[in-house]
Structure 1
Amino acid sequence: MHGPRSSPERAPRLYGRAFAAVVAGLLISIGFVGVALLEQNSALSGQLGAVDPIVNGNVRVLSQTQRELLRLDALIASGNPDRELVRFHADLVTQRIREAGLSYQINTLGSPELLAQSGTLGLIWTSRAEPLLDGAVDGSPTARAELRALIDEIELGFNRLVSEAEINRRFNAVEANTATSEVLGRTRGVLVGGGVSVVLLLAGAGLAGLGFVRFDRQRARTAQLMSELNDEMRILSAVASHTNAMVVITDADGVTTWVNDAFVESTGYPAEAIVGRRPGDVLQGPETDPDTVARMARHVSAGEAFTCEVVNYSADGVPYWVRIEVQPVTDDHGTLVNFIAVESDITADREAQRRLERAKEVAEEVATAKSSFLATMSHEIRTPLNAVIGLTSLLQGTPLDDQQREYVTTAASSGRLLLDVINDILSWSALGFDAVELERRPFSPQELVEQTVELARANATAKDIRVTSTVADDVPTTLEGDPTRLRQVLVNIVGNAVKFTDEGHVAVHVDIVDHAPDEATVPVRIRVVDTGIGIPADQVDRLFLPFSQADASTTRRYGGTGLGLAISNDLVALMGGRIDVESTPGTGTEVVIQLDLPVGRDASPGLASTAEVDAPPSADLRVLLVEDDPVNQMVAFHMLDRLGLTADVADNGQAALEAVHRCDYDVVLMDVHMPVMDGPTAARHIRQELPAARQPTIVAMTANAMPGDRERLLAADMDDYVAKPVRLGDLATTLRAVGATQS
């Protein structure tokens, strides 16, 4: 008979069951733990995959610092940088450099030494480079060169930091992989030393332990990276929040997601009033340019960066100008996620620009008024002066006793002096208004010099001094330039030499300096040498100042406005040349004109000789004199009589129009300012109403002698121009040309 089974017999089964249960429980637990660890590991891997690009932004901070430095350097090197744009990029450089020197960057750089180097580069920027910005923008070559050198030094330093940081990260990765390999090696050794069951348990425990270790390491790494990212985001947020510029962040559709404190303070809109809305829906108003708004919308739709200036409105309805710089932000896949807009209030700049434009308008109005005043004064002075000079010229041709001739000669000389003063003032005023336009036509330097000397000989002969001229053989027979202006310069200089020379001579020499035979332009040198009173060395520079002479006694003794050399100097400068003066008091003066002039082909016949001026015009010309002033009528009538001509007289443009309908005239001498109908209007009617076969030559004979008057009148249906006071020789030359066309 069998008794009950003893406990030792049941123990193996119990232990086996218990062991099996334990093993099963362990395996199940290990399985569950393994599955959980694998799921968590997968989740952590996904988190790290999302966090890694953001954390790598720390490395991009160094690269972005380099890029901003290069952009700033390129902007400064452009030669005329915009101050606001320079300041904007300089602020970005400062921000990036500060971020590159923060303590958390040691995880990117990999060593305290590199972090210290980053801080040193930041110190170079703030203490040495940044103070040079204003000087570089203002155009200082020294500041610009030194600033660019410092930018190169800082950019090179960050380049080295990026390279050495990459080496450190790779070294740390190798160490981590080596440590992991050692752990795995030890784990395999333990597994090999156990039995099948123990091996399975240890394997499960090892796998669970390895998964836990990996999980814990990844968790710690993620926590560290997230902490660093939060620190960086706090810094960036603080920068954006506390910058003086208004910052707006929108989503890809342009809807506002965030604004900084400067935006709220500047616009008066609280953040909640604009977040969730498009900025333009809140800020734009009646004065906002719709074309600019449409352009902004096109850029946003295309996901493009852009810069514009537009009128916005604050919360209390006050308009203000703002410059907006918008940059799109994309993710690692190139998908547009945000727009960042940095806005600067430029209302003060716009107002300053408006004031400058208004000041320019006022200056132009003043210049116009001044020009009009000078033109009016010139006309009013020339009109009676025409009678004075004309009548004295006619009187000199009549029988006179010695005393009468002396009186008439003095009156004629005074009239010509007054005319010279007026001409000098008008020429100087024209240069001040930039109204002088230079011609370019062929001329003979030999003829130009001879005619200048011929004009000076009358005054020189009266003082018993000689005036001579020489033109070197190597001077081309024909040059190109503005012979009228060049003759004006020579007449001024030679006239001055004659005026200030009491005995001896005045000589004009023309030659070429260092000229190669095959060059198309020659360096012409014109020397005017006199044996006059001379000028002290400390007074030479005053010669080229308007209304200035060597000293007050010069003006009292010799007269003149002191404008001649100032005008000559400006004209020569317009021609691209220069005037030099050397003088010794009591010995004489040498004035040297140097010009580069093209070699011409055929000389212009425009410069008439003295013999031609004295030749009378054709005596069978039919002349109509149109003049409202009775005295000027008499002067012109007697001048025509001296030339062997008679004339009909009309005292206004309407009377002249009626006269040309009644009779055929060869030439009409037309005044400009007249009652009833002025000269240009009468000329236009004559051109419109008379057939081509009956058209006369219309010569403007006027006191309008401001720069541009000749061109304006020739464009207004006039054929030629004679300025008052009318010189008999000028009138004869003009009428002789009319006679030549009639024959």
Structure 2
Amino acid sequence: MEKSLVKLTKAEEMGDVGHYEIYLSEEKMVLSKGAEMIYGLVGDLWPSSTIYELILPEDREKVAKSREELVRVGKRYDVTFSIRRANDGELRYLRSLGDYDTVNNTIFGVVHDITEQKKAAAELKARNDAFFWTLTAGILTITAIAALLALSVLKQLKVGRELLESKRKIDVQNEELQAANEELAASNEQLAATNEELIATNEELNAVNQTLERSFIEIESKNAALERIKAEFEELLQQTGAVVWQVDLNGTFVSLRNLNPEVNGFTEEEMLGKMSVYDLHPEETRGEFKAYITEVMRSEKTLWNFEHPVSTRDGRKRWVLSVWFPAYDERHRSVGYRGINIDITAKKALEEALIKSKEEAQAALKAKSAFLSNMSHEIRTPMNASMGFTHLLLETEENPEKRKMLEQIDASNRYLLNLVNKILDLSKIEDGKIRIREEDFMIGEMLDRIVDNFSHLARAKALDFFVKREPEMPVIVQGDELRLEQILNNVLSNAIKFTEKGAVTFEMAATPIENSEHRMLFKFKIADTGIGIEEKDFQRIFDKFEQAESYLTKKYGGTGLGLSITKELVDRMKGFLRLESSTGKGTTVVIEIPMTVDGEAYTKKSENGGPVTYDLEGVHILIAEDNEITQNLMKRIFQRHGISVDLAENGQKALEMLQQNRYDLLLMDIQMPILNGIDTTKLIRREERFKDLPIIALSAFIDQEVEAPALESGMNGFVTKPLTAQTIHHLITTYLLPLKEKS
């Protein structure tokens, strides 16, 4: 349909032709693109008076009379007139033909710019006038000669009668006759010249006529093109199955075009004057549809469209796209609506199928997330004990052989935990639930943990591990410590995994960001001398479950999730990741992440470059945990720091112990029998004396849906099992150390 309209517009422009429709009740004209160009207007809707004012005063009465006769007696008009074009004031000559639609009280017409034809006709008239006056001059000359000749003859007759009287007079007459003959010869020469001019004028006239004939042929050709476009439009209307209709104010059909009874089962005879647009609407929603149409009728819209169902004769439901606009009579009274309906049942069926598929996919994704979350809980609970007790044994075991076995157990634990975290992170990314925190943390201590961990791993593979850290690194920054550590762990793990010999280098630096107070760009560079990656595989390794070559999975292991998740996390932290590598020459990964720093922390440094230890003697905490193994582990961990620890197996027991003792911190599992952690927290926060008590949630679930309710209940923080050394360190430095320093 759009293509046909484009063709119609183009054809109008080529032929200096346009069409228009006059709404007599509103005295408004709708112009086609061609008509807009002819009148020099921009826009398709204009008051009739605007067009009328463009007509020269001497032609206005003629145009008005033609229109009056058309409406009064139905006589089609064919009128020529002159206008001053609106955009440039140029004089243009137009020819307009119009017909009257009595049903809709509208005039449909065609306007043709005939200025060029007028100019050609004027030129022809000028030439004809010149010829006429030249010819007239010749005739006048001949007439004068004839008169003179007649006069001479009369004189000769008179001389004959008087011949006997005087020979002298005859001689005089002969002289006069000779002079007259000479004048006649001169006139004949002038007449011959005039005839030559006439022949030349006729030739020019023939040339003008040929030009006019070509112009008329061209116009006929353009008219034929318009007819073809009209036929194409009609064909398109048939192909789309669009139904053109008009209804009265009650919604009853008064006009139908292109109705296909095979679609809805009704014929024109059954519908015209007998059925309303509401009768075609399904009964269960007919009232709502009628209310909607009534509301639209009260609005000031002149055109609107919407999708709605219709019922067929046999009770089936189909969907149509309806376009509505008001219809008026000659007195500008609303007489109903006109519009077009296009059947979109197939489109709706496809949409419903897509929606259903999407819902099924979302349900499957939700089920997968729930499964992974539950599996995480089941895996993390025993891992908490395995990792925790392994760390405790490593800190006390001095036998080299036993320490080596414990280190292997610890490495396996960390590998398993890392794998679980990657799978959960992938699930969160797919669900859009992954969240970046903005919390203060000591970046130096985090980097020390990473360096310490990978120093052991590099040493186990006989690799050199070089660390380069700027001395002026800030101490306290604001960001997501766990996610940053995860990013660096993923990249360093790959560096050591894919390096058989040589070295891994870890460089760290921070530079202030221009025009941004307390913002710094932290740059981490990890370079190795490993197997490297071909440039063509750069993009693949950032895809989920992908590695550069499939054989690498068998040789080096891995899920292919590490770099995919790393890239996603860097993007979420508004950072940048760059990869430089070539086969056999190693790989360099550069990560840049902007973070906010403490205003006083630009020059702060830890005293020895390693983790800071604190004396927490006298600090008293309560741990509410129903798992006995986890209870025992956590008690041992905190007691190593000089902290006094009490245990409660459920929330009810924790409430009782809070009434009997003063605690500096409450660590509480969310899922416990009798009274869970969230409900226990709500009860605790009701008492004024416990409003400042730090309550930290413990959970084997890593999910925003679990964390959010915990924080909303009044808990101060959320930590996940298994508890790592950095988690314990975070709890101590955030909640317990400030208390110790105050005392």
Tell me which amino acid in the other structure corresponds to 1:424.
K
Matched ranges for 1:568-717 at <5 A: 568-593=566-591, 597=594, 602=599, 615-616=613-614, 618-688=616-686, 690-693=687-690, 696-706=693-703, 709-717=706-714
CA distance in 2, matches of 1:518, 1:319: 63
2:268 alignment partner AA: A
Give the Å deviation of 1:487.
3.6
Q: Is the contact made by 1:252 and 1:338 (CA closer than 8 Å) also made in structure 2?
A: yes
The aligned residue for residue 377 of structure 1 is 375
Partner residue, 1:494:
492
Matched-pair contact (CA < 8 Å) for 2:259–2:267: no
Task: Please report how far the alpha carbon of residue 492 of structure 1 lies from its aligned counterpart in structure 2 after TM superposition.
Answer: 1.9
Secondary structure, aligned partner of 2:667 = strand
Amino acid at match of 1:469: K
Q: What are the superposed Cα offsets for residues 466-513 of structure 1, whole Å, 9 maximum, x if unpaired?
A: 32224599x999987655433432232133323434554433446799
CA contact (8 A) 2:621 2:666 kept: yes
Distance 1:509 1:701, change over 3 A: same
**Contact kept in structure 2, 1:247 and 1:341, CA below 8 Å:** yes
Q: Is the 8 A contact 2:509 2:523 kept in 1?
A: yes
Paired residues of 1:672 and 1:678 also in contact (CA < 8 A): yes
Shift of 1:338: 5.7
Residues in 1 aligned to 2:493 and 2:452: alpha-carbon distance in whole angstroms? 11
Q: What corresponds to 1:309 in structure 2?
A: 307
Percent identical among aligned pairs is 27
Query: Following TM superposition, by how much is the alpha carbon of 1:523 offset from its aligned partner in structure 2, in angstroms?
Result: 7.6
Q: Which residue of 2 aligns with 1:182?
A: none
Shift in CA distance, 253/500, structure 1 to aligned 2, threshold 3 Å:
closer
Distance 1:343 1:448, change over 3 A: same
Task: Check if 1:275 corresponds to 2:272.
Answer: yes
Distance 2:584 2:117 in 1: 86
Secondary structure of the corresponding residue to residue 657 of structure 1 = helix
What residue number does 1:322 align with? Answer: 320
Matches of 1:710 and 1:586 in 2, distance apart? 45
* Letter aligned with residue 496 of structure 2: V
1:699-718 Cα deviation digits (max 9, x unpaired) = 22221224564444323322
- The corresponding residue for 1:467 is 466
1:344 aligns with 2:335: no
Q: Distance in 2 between matches of 1:165 and 1:534?
A: 77
Q: Distance in 1 between matches of 2:693 and 2:680?
A: 12
CA distance in 1, matches of 2:702, 2:618: 30
CA positional deviation for 1:425: 1.7
Compared with structure 1, are the counterparts of its residues 686 and 607 closer, same or farther at alpha carbon in structure 2 (3 Å cutoff)?
A: farther
Give the letter for the 1:294 counterpart: A
- One-letter identity of the residue aligned with 1:716: S
* Count of matched residue pairs: 549
| Cα displacement (A) at 1:375 | 0.7
* Residue 48 of structure 1: aligned partner: none
Contact (CA 8 Å) 1:322, 1:345: kept in 2 or not? yes
Kindly tell me: are residues 525 and 534 of structure 1, through their superposed partners in 2, closer, same or farther at Cα, counting changes over 3 Å?
Answer: same
Matched residue, 1:139? none
**Contact in 2 for aligned 1:383/1:725 (Cα 8 Å):** yes
Structure 1 Cα separation of the partners of residues 596 and 677 of structure 2: 41
Shift of 1:411: 1.5
**Between 539-548 and 478-487, the greater mean CA deviation after superposition:** 478-487
Counterpart of 1:219 in structure 2 is none
In structure 1, the residue matched to 2:396 is 398
Rounded to whole Å, the distance in 2 between the matches of 1:493 and 1:305 is 60
1:286 to 268, 272, 283: 283
SS class of match (2:432): coil
Mapped to 1, the partners of 2:304 and 2:662 lie a distance apart of: 71
Cα deviation for residue 315 of structure 1 reads: 2.8
Q: Provide Cα deviations, 1:71-113, integer angstroms capped at 9, x if missing partner.
A: 999xxxxxxxxxxxxxxxxxxxxxxxxxxxxxxx9x999xxxx
Asked if the contact 1:460–1:467 (Cα under 8 Å) also holds between the matched residues in 2, the reply is no
Q: Deviations over 1:177-222 (max 9, x none)?
A: xxxxxxxxxxxxxxxxxxxxxxxxxxxxxxxxxxxxxxxxxxxxxx
Structure whose CA Rg is larger: 2
Asked if 1:739 is matched to 2:718, the reply is no
Amino acid at match of 1:346: I
Alpha-carbon distance in 1 for matches of 2:629, 2:441: 38
Which among 358, 367, 387 is matched to residue 360 of structure 1? 358
Q: Which moved more, 1:717-726 or 1:570-579?
A: 570-579
Aligned pair partner of 2:256 in 235, 255, 259: 259
Q: How far apart, CA to CA, are the structure 1 residues paired with 2:418 and 2:726?
A: 17
Residue 427 of structure 1 and its aligned partner are, at CA, apart by: 1.9
Matched, 1:546 2:549: no
* Larger proportion of helix: 1
Distance (Å, rounded) in 2 between the aligned partners of 1:639 and 1:321: 68
Deviations 1:440-490 (A, max 9, x none): 5788988876664455334335545232224599x9999876554334322
Alignment CA distance shift 1:360-1:238 (3 Å): closer
Q: Deviations over 1:636-683 (max 9, x none)?
A: 222233223343322222332333234333322212222233222222
The answer for the alignment partner of 1:201 in structure 2 is: none
Alignment of 1:198-277 (within 5 A): 244-251=241-248, 254-262=251-259, 264-277=261-274
Paired residues of 1:274 and 1:282 also in contact (CA < 8 A): no
Matches within 5 A, 1:166-185: 168=117
Q: Is the 8 A contact 2:685 2:691 kept in 1?
A: no
The letter of the residue matching 1:345 is: D
- Matched-pair contact (CA < 8 Å) for 1:539–1:550: yes
Structure 2: unaligned runs, 5 residues or longer: 1-20, 45-75, 81-109, 126-226
Distance in 2 (CA, whole Å) between partners of 1:574 and 1:398 is 40
Deviation at 1:735, TM superposition (A): 3.6
Please give the alpha-carbon distance, in whole angstroms, between the structure 2 residues aligned to 1:162 and 1:522.
70
Shift of 1:412: 1.8
Deviations 1:246-267 (A, max 9, x none): 2222346654222235254433
The 3 A distance-change label for structure 1 pair 557 and 324 is closer
* Deviation, structure 1 residue 385: 0.8
Moved more, 670-679 or 364-373: 670-679
Is this contact kept in 1: 2:253–2:275, CA < 8 A? yes
The answer on whether the counterparts of 1:614 and 1:729 sit within 8 Å (CA) in structure 2 is: no
* Separation in 1, partners of 2:719, 2:595: 30
Matched residues in 1 for 2:263 and 2:313: separation?
A: 9
Separation in 2 of the partners of 1:599 and 1:405?
40
Q: TM-score, normalised by structure 2?
A: 0.62
